C-alpha cells in the first residue's frame, strides 16, 4: 500500500494554499487518499491531484489572502493610501512636479516614437491584397560583379512571367509620365496645369491595388484605352464642385498625348502608400509610342513591374523558378557581355522599408526605425530612473513614516503595497499628462516628416500601449524604491540615524547612465547636423548659387520647342540681371537622361560599364562653371564637336582611358554609338554627396528642351524672374511658367537625412530635459539634506565658493564618468553612420568635446541654482533648531 | 452586507453538520452525505460550502488533535451555531408551510 500522497501535488497545494486552511484541506485529502488507496493506488493518486486543482480558488490562495479575509479593512486601507499619496504629492510639490512631468515627457516621447514607427511600418498595408503583391527587382551581374539592384524593368517582363509561371495571378506594369493637362470648361475658360505625377498603368492596376473610389467603378475604370482616373484633389482642381465623370481632358506632351474621358475619381492616395500619383491613365498609349514599338519588350528598362501571386502560391516557390526563367527569357541577350540577370520579389509592404533601390524616393530603413525605437526605450528609462532616484533620495525623509508604521505593526508587505500604490498613482497621472503632451508633439514630428500624424483613439493598440507603459512604468519605477523604503529598521530610523545608506551608489550609477545616454544623443544630433551642413556647403564643382531652373515647354513638338527656346535663350541672355543661360536634359540633383552601357572603343563588350549621360547645349558647362582639366568645350560651329562627348575624371579610371590627355585621343562606345572624347572635366557632384563620383558624360545638343538653367545676378532676382516670365509667356503661350532654384532642389536630396537629424534632435532635447529635471531634483534634495553641514562649515569659516564647489563636485564628477562611457559608444555609432556617405566630415575632437561641454554646462547650471541657494543661506537659520 | 442566503447544497451540508454534532469534519461529512444521498461528492465542494457558511456565521469551527492517518494535520471540526440552527429552522418551516399548501389529492404517477 502506498501510504504517502503524490509528492508534487502535495507540494503544489502547500505552495498556493493559505496556511490557515491547509490543516483542514491537506488533512482531509490525505485521509481520503488513504481510504481510496485501499481500492486502487493509481486512481487514488489521480483523484488526489485532481482534487488539489479544485482548490485553486481565490478564497484558498495565499495570493488573495489579505483582500479576502479583511475585505472591509482593505477598502479603508486603500483610502488611506490615497490620502497619504496625495498628501505626499502636495507636501513636496516640486518633487511631485519633477516626477510627474519627467515621467510624462518620457512616456510622451515613447508614444510619439511608437506612433512614428507604426506609421512607417504601415505603408501599403491598406491594400487588401498586400500579402500577395510583389514588386520585381532585378540585379545585373557582369563579370561576377553584382550591380546595385534596380526596380526598373522592361515591358515584356510582366506578360512573360504571367505566361511562364502558374503562380502569377496577374501582372501590373507602371510607367511614370508627365504632361500638360487641359480641361476646356467652356468658351475661353480652359484649365491648364503641368502634371508631374501621372502614372500610366495596366488596366489590372486597380484590380490588384485597392484604393477608395469616390465615383466610378474601379476594377473596370482603366479598361478603355482613353480612360483617365483622377484623385480627388486633382478632380477638384479642374472641375471644382462639378461631377467629373464622363468629362473629356486633353493631355499634351510625353507619350500620353490625346483626349481622355474621366472614368473614376479616387480618394487622395493614403499618406502611407509608396505610390505617389495624381492621375492614372492606361499604359496603352505608352506602348503604342515609337520608342516601344521598336522595342521587342526587353530593351528599355522604364517600367516598374508588380505581380500578384495566386492565393496558394508563396514567394519562395515563385522565386525558385526565376533562375530558369531568366536563363530562357533574359540571359541570351547578355551572353556576349559575360553577364546575366537575377530577379527577385519584393513584398509590397517591404518597399517603403527598403532604401537603396534605384527609383525609390521615400523610404526608411528598418535600422532607422529600430534605432528610434531604442531611443524611445532610452528616454523612458531615463524618466523611470528619475523617479527611482528621487524616491530613494527622499527615503530619509520618509524613513520616519516607515519607522512609525512599522512600530505600530505594519507588515513590510503592506508598506511595499503603499509605495507601489503611490508609484501607480504617479504613473497614472503622468500617463494622462503624456497623452496631452504627445498630442501637441505629434504635429511637430508630422511637420518634420511631412505627413499628418494623429493618434487614433479608436485603435486598441494605443490603449494597450498606454496601459502597458503605465503598468510597466509603475512596476519598473516603483519596485526598487518600495523595497528600499520598506526595508528600514525601526530602531535605526527612529533613533534618527540618517546615514546615506546603500542606495546612493546605485543612484550614482543611474545618473551616470542617464547622462551617458543624453550625451550620446547630443553628440549624434550634432554630427548629423554637421554632416548635412557639410554636404550643403561643400564645393560641388558646379555653380549652384542663384541658378534658376525652368521646365522646358512640354506641350510643343520637339522641333518647335527647340526653335522657341533658341529665341528665348538669345533674348534672356541680353537681360541685365542674367549672367548666363543654358539648356540641358537634366540639372544637378535631378538625375540623368540615360543610364547607358559604355566601353572604350576597341575593347570587348564584356568591358561594358554603366555611366550616366546628360544632353547639354554648348553653353551648359560655362554656365555651371565646371573646370576642364583637359580638352575643350563643344563648339556649335564645328560639326564633329557636336558629335563628341565630354567626360569627367571618374570616367578615366572606369573605362581605362589613362590620363586626361591620353583620353582625348580615345573614343567611347555609348550604347550603339561611337563618340570621340573632346574634353575631360574635373569631378563634380551631380547628385547627393552620399554617393561617390561616378562616370558622367555630357553629349551635345544645340538645344536640349527639358530644362533651362539661368544664372542670375543676386541683387535683382525678383525683377529678373518677372522679366523672364513675361518673355516666356509671350513666346510660348499656354505653357505654365514654373521655376526652382537648383540649390534648393539639390538640397532636397538630403531630405531624409534632415528628417533623421530633426527627429534625432527633438528626442535628444527631450532626453536632456528629462535628465536635467532629475538632476535638478537630486541636487535640490542633496543640498537640503546637507544644510546642517553647510551651516557648520560656514560657521567655521568656509567661503560660499568653497561650499558651492564642494557640492557641485560630485555632480560634475558624475557627468565626467558618463562622458567616458559615452565617448567610445558615440564614436562607434557616428563612424558607422558616416560610412554611409561617400563625402563626409572627419571625426574631429570638437565633435565629441563640444557635446560634453554643453552637457556639463547644462548640468552645471541646473545644479548650481540649487547649490548656491543652499550655500548663501544664513547658517544661524539652519543651526538654530537643534 | 453579507449574503445570508442558504444554498441547496449548503443546506445539505449544514444539516449534516448539525446531525453529526461533535464529529463533523470534512471527511465525515462527505462520507455521511455520500451514504445518505447515494451519490459521489468531491471533498472540495464540501470545503467550499463549509467555508462560506462559516463566513456567514451559520457554523463555527475548532481544531482537533493530530492523527496519524492525516499526515500530521489536525481535524477541523464544525458545530452549528444558534444562528445557523435558526436559519435551518426557518428553512424547514418554510418548506413545511409550502408543503401543506399542496392540495390533498392523489397525483397520477
State residue A68's pLDDT score: 46
b or e along A154-164 (b: 16 or more beta carbons within 10 Å of the residue's beta carbon)?
bbbbbebbbee
Enter the C-alpha cell of residue A338.
559575360
The complex scores an ipTM of 0.87
Q: What average pLDDT is seen over chain A?
A: 84
SS3 content of chain A, % helix, strand, coil (to 5): 55, 15, 25
How many angstroms separate the CA of residue A25 from the nearest CA in chain B?
Answer: 8
- Using a CB-CB cut-off of 8 Å, the residues of chain A touching B51 are 21, 59
Q: Find chain B residues with C-beta within 8 A of A32's C-beta.
A: 27, 30, 43
- Which of the pair, A69 or B59, is modelled with greater confidence? B59
Sort strands A645-648 and A673-681 into parallel, antiparallel or unpaired: parallel
The answer to whether A634 touches A678, Cβ cutoff 8 Å, is yes
Q: Phi, psi (5° rounding) for residue A224?
A: -80, 140
Best mutation site among B73, B74, B75 for testing chain A: the one with the most A CBs within 10 Å?
Answer: B73
**Which one, of A762, A757, A693, lies nearest residue A112 by Cα?**
A762
With CB atoms and an 8 Å threshold, state whether A21 touches B51: yes
* Residue B53 resides in a domain: yes
Q: How far is CA A240 from CA A237, A337, A685, A740, in A?
A: 6, 55, 44, 28
A551 forms beta bridges with: A707
Closest CA relative to residue A287, chosen from A186, A177, A374, A183 = A177
Q: How far is A32 from chain B, CA to nearest CA, in Å?
A: 7
- Out of B48, B51, B74, name the one closest to residue A27 (CB): B74
Q: Which of A23, A54, A59 sits opposite B73 (nearest CB)?
A: A23
Tell me whether residues A51 and B42 touch, CB distance under 8 A.
yes
Could you tell me the pLDDT band of residue A71, with boundaries at 50, 70 and 90?
very low
Note the pLDDT tens digit of each residue in A303-337: 999 999 998 888 888 888 888 888 888 888 777 77
Give residue A394's pLDDT.
Answer: 74
Distance from CA of A76 to the nearest CA of B (A): 16
How much of chain A, in percent, has pLDDT values that exceed 70?
95
pLDDT, tens only, A91-141: 878 788 888 888 999 999 999 999 999 998 999 999 999 999 999 998 888
CA dist A68 and A57 (Å) reads 11
Distance from CA of A30 to the nearest CA of B (A): 5
Check CB contact under 8 Å for B42 and A34. no
Of chain A residues 22-41, which have a CB less than 8 A from chain B? Answer: 22-32, 34
Which of A23, A25, A34, A71 is the best mutation test for B, with the most CBs of B within 10 A? Answer: A23
**Chain A: nearest CA to B58, how far in angstroms?**
17
Nearest CA in chain A to B55: A69
Cβ contacts (< 8 Å) between A22 and chain B: which residues?
Answer: 73
A55 reaches B (C-beta below 8 A): yes
Residue A502 in this model has a pLDDT that exceeds 60: no
Window from A13-27, A153-167, A349-363, A506-520 with minimum mean pLDDT: A349-363
> Among residues A187, A163, A170, A179, which one has the least CA distance to residue A132?
A170
Tell if the CB–CB gap between B47 and A28 is shorter than 8 Å: yes
Min Cα separation A37/chain B (Å): 12
Cβ–Cβ under 8 Å, residues A260 and A228: yes
Task: Give the C-alpha separation, A430 to A424, whole Å.
Answer: 10
Query: What pLDDT band is residue A1 in, cutting at 50, 70 and 90?
Result: very low
* A737-751 confidence digits (pLDDT tens): 878 888 888 888 888
Nearest to B63 among A4, A23, A25 (CB): A23
More confident residue, A75 or B39: B39
Closest CA to A454 of A111, A66, A837, A878: A111
- Give the span between the Cα atoms of A619 and A633, in whole angstroms: 9
- pLDDT, mean of residues A483-488: 78
The sign of the CA dihedral A251, A256, A258, A259 is negative
When pLDDT is averaged across residues A408-413 and rounded to a whole number, the result is 81
Distance from CA of B86 to the nearest CA of A (A): 25
Domain-embedded: residue B68: yes
Contact A28 B27 (CB under 8 A): yes
**Which residues of chain B fall short of a pLDDT of 50?**
1
Say what the pLDDT of residue A66 is: 57
Instruction: Specify the CATH number for the domain of residue B14.
Output: 1.10.10.10
| B51 vs A32, A51, A59: nearest CB | A59
Using an 8 Å CB-CB cutoff, list chain A residues near B73: 22-24, 26-27, 30
A300 burial (CB, 10 Å; 0-12 / 13-18 / 19+) is middle
Residues of A in contact with B30 (CB under 8 A): 28, 32
Q: Strand A133-142 vs strand A145-146: parallel, antiparallel, or unpaired?
A: antiparallel
A755, HSE (Cβ side, Cα atoms, 13 Å): 19
In a domain, residue B2? The reply is no
Q: Which helix (H) or strand (E) holds A631?
A: strand A628-631
- Other beta carbons less than 10 A from residue A594's beta carbon: 16
A28 vs B43, B48, B51: nearest CB: B43
Chain B interface test: which of A19, A27, A30, A69 (most B C-beta within 10 Å): A27
Sequential DSSP letters for B47-99: HHHHHHHHHHTSEEEEEEEE-GGGTTPEEEEEEE-HHHHHHHHHHHHHHHHHH
| A contacts of B76 (beta carbons < 8 Å) | 23-24, 27
Yes or no, beta carbons of B26 and A55 under 8 Å apart:
no
Q: Cβ–Cβ contacts within 10 Å for residue A795, how many?
A: 12
Contact (Cβ atoms closer than 8 angstroms) between residue A609 and residue A644: no
3-state percent breakdown (helix, strand, coil) of chain B, nearest 5: 60, 15, 30
CB < 8 Å to B43, chain A: 28-29, 32, 51
Higher pLDDT, A880 or A269: A269
Residues on chain A touching B27 (C-beta within 8 angstroms)? 28, 31-32
Q: Give pLDDT, residue A148.
A: 77
Q: In this complex, how many residue pairs, one in chain A and one in chain B, have their CB atoms less than 8 Å apart? A: 57
What pLDDT does residue A504 have? Answer: 56
Name the one residue in this structure whose C-alpha cell is 426557518: B90
Element counts in chain B: helices (H) and strands (E): 4, 2
Question: Nearest CA to CA, how far is A63 from chain B (Å)?
Answer: 17
Determine the distance in angstroms separating the CA of B78 from the nearest CA of chain A, rounded to an integer. 11
The SS3 call for residue A692 is coil
Q: How far is A3 from chain B (nearest CA, A)?
A: 9
Q: pLDDT tens for residues A454-482?
A: 888 888 888 888 888 888 888 888 888 88
- Write out pLDDT tens, residues A619-677: 999 999 999 998 889 988 888 888 899 999 998 888 888 888 888 888 888 888 888 99
Q: What residues of chain A lie within 8 A of the CB of B74, using their CB? A: 23-24, 27
Cell of A165: 509561371
Helix (H) or strand (E) holding A520, with range, is helix A503-537
Q: Give pLDDT tens digits for A163-183.
A: 988 889 999 999 988 788 888
Residue-wise pLDDT for A751-776, tens only, equals: 878 888 888 888 888 888 888 888 88
Q: Considering its fold, how many domains does chain B have in total? A: 1
Lowest mean pLDDT among A31-45, A182-196, A767-781: A182-196
The position carrying cell 512607417 is A120
Q: Measured between alpha carbons, how far is A710 from A721 in angstroms, rounded to an integer?
A: 10
DSSP summary character for residue A334: G
**Contact with chain B for residue A49, Cβ under 8 A:** no
The pLDDT of residue A264 is 92
Contacts of A51 in chain B (CB under 8 A): 42-44
List chain B residues with CB under 8 Å of A23: 63, 73-74, 76
Range of the domain at B26: 8-99
User: Contact A261/A226 with Cβ under 8 angstroms?
Assistant: yes
Cα separation, A725 vs A536, in Å, equals 29
Q: Does A20 lie at the interface with B, CB-CB under 8 angstroms?
A: no
Is B3 a member of any domain? no
pLDDT band at A610 (very low <50, low <70, confident <90, very high): confident
Query: Which residues partner with A200 through β-bridges?
Result: A175, A281
Rounded to whole angstroms, the Cα distance separating A396 from A402 reads 10
Query: Is B15 inside a domain boundary?
Result: yes
d(CA B52, CA B46): 10
Locate the chain B residue with the closest alpha carbon to A60.
B48
Q: Which residues of A touch B42 (CB under 8 A)?
A: 51, 54
| The pairing of beta strand A227-231 with beta strand A145-146 | unpaired
Within-domain flag for B23: yes
Report the SS3 class of residue A108. Answer: helix
Contact residues, A window 56-85, toward B, CB-based 8 Å cutoff: 57, 59
Q: Which residues touch B76 (CB under 8 Å, ≥6 apart)? A: A23, A24, A27, B25, B26, B61, B62, B63, B64
Total length of chain A? 882
| A535-540 own/partner pairs: CB under 8 Å, 24+ apart | A535/A688, A535/A689, A535/A690, A535/A750, A535/A753, A535/A837, A535/A839, A536/A747, A536/A750, A538/A685, A538/A689, A538/A839, A540/A588, A540/A684, A540/A685, A540/A689, A540/A746
Cβ count near A85 (within 10 Å)? 19
Distance CA A352, CA A119 (A): 11
A634: closest CA among A625, A651, A624, A622? A622
B interface with A, Cβ–Cβ below 8 Å: 25-27, 30, 42-44, 47-48, 51, 63, 69-71, 73-76
Tell me the nearest-neighbour CA distance from A47 into chain B, angstroms: 10
Number of C-beta neighbours around residue A825 at 10 A? 14
Question: Do residues A251 and A242 touch, judged by C-beta distance below 8 A?
Answer: no
Residue (of A442, A490, A433, A431) closest to A465 by Cα position? A431
Amino acid at each position: 500500500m502506498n501510504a504517502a500522497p503524490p509528492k508534487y501535488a502535495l507540494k503544489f497545494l502547500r505552495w498556493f494554499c493559505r496556511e490557515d486552511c491547509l490543516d483542514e484541506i491537506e488533512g482531509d485529502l490525505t485521509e481520503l487518499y488513504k481510504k481510496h488507496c485501499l481500492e486502487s493506488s493509481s486512481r487514488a493518486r489521480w483523484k488526489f491531484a485532481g482534487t488539489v486543482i479544485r482548490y485553486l480558488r481565490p478564497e484558498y490562495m495565499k495570493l488573495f489572502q489579505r483582500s479576502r479575509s479583511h475585505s472591509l479593512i482593505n477598502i479603508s486601507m486603500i483610502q488611506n493610501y490615497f490620502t497619504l499619496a496625495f498628501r505626499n504629492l502636495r507636501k513636496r510639490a516640486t518633487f511631485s512636479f519633477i516626477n510627474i512631468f519627467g515621467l510624462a515627457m518620457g512616456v510622451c516621447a515613447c508614444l510619439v516614437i511608437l506612433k512614428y514607427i507604426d506609421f512607417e511600418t504601415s505603408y501599403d498595408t491598406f491594400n487588401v491584397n498586400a500579402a500577395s503583391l510583389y514588386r520585381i527587382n532585378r540585379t545585373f551581374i557582369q563579370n561576377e560583379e553584382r550591380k546595385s539592384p534596380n526596380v526598373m524593368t522592361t515591358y515584356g517582363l510582366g506578360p512573360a512571367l504571367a505566361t511562364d509561371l502558374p503562380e502569377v495571378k496577374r501582372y501590373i506594369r507602371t510607367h511614370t509620365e508627365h504632361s500638360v493637362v487641359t480641361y476646356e470648361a467652356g468658351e475661353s475658360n480652359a484649365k491648364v496645369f503641368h502634371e508631374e505625377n501621372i502614372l500610366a498603368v495596366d488596366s489590372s492596376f486597380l484590380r490588384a491595388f485597392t484604393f477608395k473610389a469616390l465615383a466610378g467603378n474601379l476594377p473596370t475604370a482603366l479598361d478603355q484605352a482613353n480612360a483617365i482616373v483622377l484623385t480627388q484633389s486633382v478632380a477638384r482642381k479642374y472641375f471644382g464642385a462639378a461631377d467629373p465623370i464622363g468629362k473629356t481632358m486633353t493631355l499634351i506632351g510625353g507619350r500620353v498625348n490625346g483626349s481622355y474621358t474621366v472614368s473614376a475619381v479616387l480618394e487622395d492616395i493614403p499618406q502611407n502608400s509608396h505610390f505617389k500619383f495624381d492621375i492614372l491613365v492606361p499604359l496603352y498609349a505608352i506602348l503604342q509610342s515609337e520608342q516601344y514599338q521598336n522595342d521587342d519588350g526587353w530593351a528599355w528598362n522604364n517600367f516598374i513591374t508588380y505581380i500578384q501571386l495566386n492565393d496558394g502560391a508563396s514567394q519562395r516557390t515563385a522565386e525558385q523558378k526565376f533562375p530558369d526563367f531568366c536563363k530562357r527569357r533574359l540571359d541570351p541577350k547578355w551572353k556576349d557581355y559575360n553577364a546575366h540577370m537575377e530577379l527577385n520579389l519584393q513584398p509590397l509592404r517591404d518597399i517603403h522599408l527598403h532604401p537603396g533601390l534605384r527609383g525609390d524616393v521615400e523610404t526608411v530603413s528598418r535600422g532607422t526605425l529600430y534605432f528610434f525605437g531604442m531611443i524611445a526605450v532610452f528616454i523612458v528609462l531615463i524618466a523611470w530612473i528619475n523617479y527611482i532616484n528621487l524616491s530613494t533620495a527622499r527615503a530619509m525623509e520618509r524613513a520616519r513614516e516607515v519607522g512609525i508604521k512599522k512600530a505600530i505593526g505594519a507588515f513590510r508587505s503592506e508598506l511595499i503595497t503603499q509605495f507601489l500604490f503611490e508609484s501607480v498613482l504617479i504613473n497614472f497621472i503622468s500617463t494622462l499628462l503624456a497623452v496631452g503632451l504627445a498630442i501637441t508633439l505629434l504635429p511637430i514630428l508630422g511637420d518634420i516628416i511631412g505627413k499628418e500624424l494623429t493618434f487614433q483613439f479608436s485603435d486598441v493598440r494605443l490603449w494597450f500601449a498606454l496601459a502597458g507603459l503605465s503598468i510597466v512604468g509603475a512596476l519598473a519605477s516603483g519596485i526598487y524604491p518600495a523595497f528600499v523604503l520598506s526595508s528600514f529598521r525601526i530602531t535605526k530610523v527612529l533613533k534618527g540615524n540618517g546615514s546615506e545608506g546603500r542606495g546612493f551608489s546605485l543612484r550614482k550609477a543611474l545618473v551616470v547612465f542617464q547622462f551617458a545616454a543624453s550625451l550620446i544623443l547630443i553628440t549624434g544630433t550634432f554630427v548629423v547636423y554637421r554632416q548635412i551642413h557639410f554636404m550643403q556647403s561643400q564645393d560641388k564643382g558646379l555653380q549652384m548659387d542663384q541658378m534658376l531652373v525652368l521646365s522646358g515647354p512640354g506641350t510643343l513638338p520637339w522641333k518647335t520647342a527647340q526653335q522657341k527656346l533658341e529665341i528665348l535663350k538669345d533674348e534672356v541672355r541680353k537681360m541685365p540681371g542674367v549672367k548666363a543661360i543654358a539648356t540641358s536634359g537634366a540639372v544637378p540633383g535631378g538625375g540623368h537622361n540615360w543610364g547607358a552601357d559604355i566601353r572604350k572603343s576597341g575593347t570587348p563588350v564584356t568591358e561594358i560599364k554603366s555611366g550616366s549621360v546628360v544632353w547639354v547645349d554648348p553653353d551648359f558647362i560655362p554656365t555651371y562653371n565646371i573646370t576642364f582639366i583637359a580638352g575643350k568645350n563643344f563648339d556649335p560651329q564645328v560639326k564633329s564637336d557636336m558629335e563628341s562627348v565630354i567626360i569627367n575624371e571618374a570616367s578615366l579610371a572606369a573605362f581605362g582611358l589613362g590620363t586626361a590627355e591620353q583620353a582625348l585621343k580615345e573614343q567611347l562606345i555609348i550604347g550603339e554609338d561611337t563618340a570621340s572624347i573632346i574634353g575631360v572635366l574635373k569631378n563634380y557632384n551631380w547628385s547627393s554627396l552620399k554617393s561617390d563620383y561616378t562616370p558622367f558624360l555630357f553629349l551635345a545638343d544645340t538645344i536640349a528642351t527639358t530644362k533651362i538653367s539661368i544664372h542670375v545676378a543676386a541683387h535683382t532676382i525678383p525683377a529678373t524672374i518677372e522679366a523672364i516670365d513675361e518673355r516666356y509667356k509671350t513666346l510660348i503661350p499656354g505653357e505654365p511658367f514654373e521655376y526652382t532654384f537648383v540649390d534648393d532642389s539639390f538640397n532636397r536630396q538630403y531630405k531624409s537625412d534632415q528628417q533623421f537629424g530633426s527627429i534625432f534632435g527633438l528626442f535628444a532635447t527631450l532626453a536632456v530635459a528629462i535628465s536635467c529635471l532629475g538632476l535638478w531634483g537630486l541636487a535640490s534634495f542633496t543640498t537640503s539634506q546637507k544644510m546642517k553641514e553647510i551651516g557648520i562649515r560656514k560657521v567655521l569659516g568656509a567661503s560660499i565658493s568653497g561650499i558651492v564647489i564642494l557640492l557641485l563636485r560630485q555632480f560634475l564628477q558624475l557627468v565626467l564618468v558618463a562622458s567616458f562611457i559615452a565617448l567610445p559608444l558615440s564614436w562607434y555609432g557616428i563612424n558607422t553612420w558616416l560610412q554611409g556617405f561617400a563625402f563626409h566630415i572627419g571625426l574631429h575632437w570638437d565633435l565629441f568635446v563640444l557635446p560634453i561641454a554643453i552637457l556639463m554646462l547644462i548640468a552645471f547650471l541646473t545644479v548650481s541654482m540649487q547649490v548656491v541657494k543652499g550655500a548663501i543661506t544664513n547658517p544661524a537659520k539652519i543651526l538654530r533648531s537643534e | 452586507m453579507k449574503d445570508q442566503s442558504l444554498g441547496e447544497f449548503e443546506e445539505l451540508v449544514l444539516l449534516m453538520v448539525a446531525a453529526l454534532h461533535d464529529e463533523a469534519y470534512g471527511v465525515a461529512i462527505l462520507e455521511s452525505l455520500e451514504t445518505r444521498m447515494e451519490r459521489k461528492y468531491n471533498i472540495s465542494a464540501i470545503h467550499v460550502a463549509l467555508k462560506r457558511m462559516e463566513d456567514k456565521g451559520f457554523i463555527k469551527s475548532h481544531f482537533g488533535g493530530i492523527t496519524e492517518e492525516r499526515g500530521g494535520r489536525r481535524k477541523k471540526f464544525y458545530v452549528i451555531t444558534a444562528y445557523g440552527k435558526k436559519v435551518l429552522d426557518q428553512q424547514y418551516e418554510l418548506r413545511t408551510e409550502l408543503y401543506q399548501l399542496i392540495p390533498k389529492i392523489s397525483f397520477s404517477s
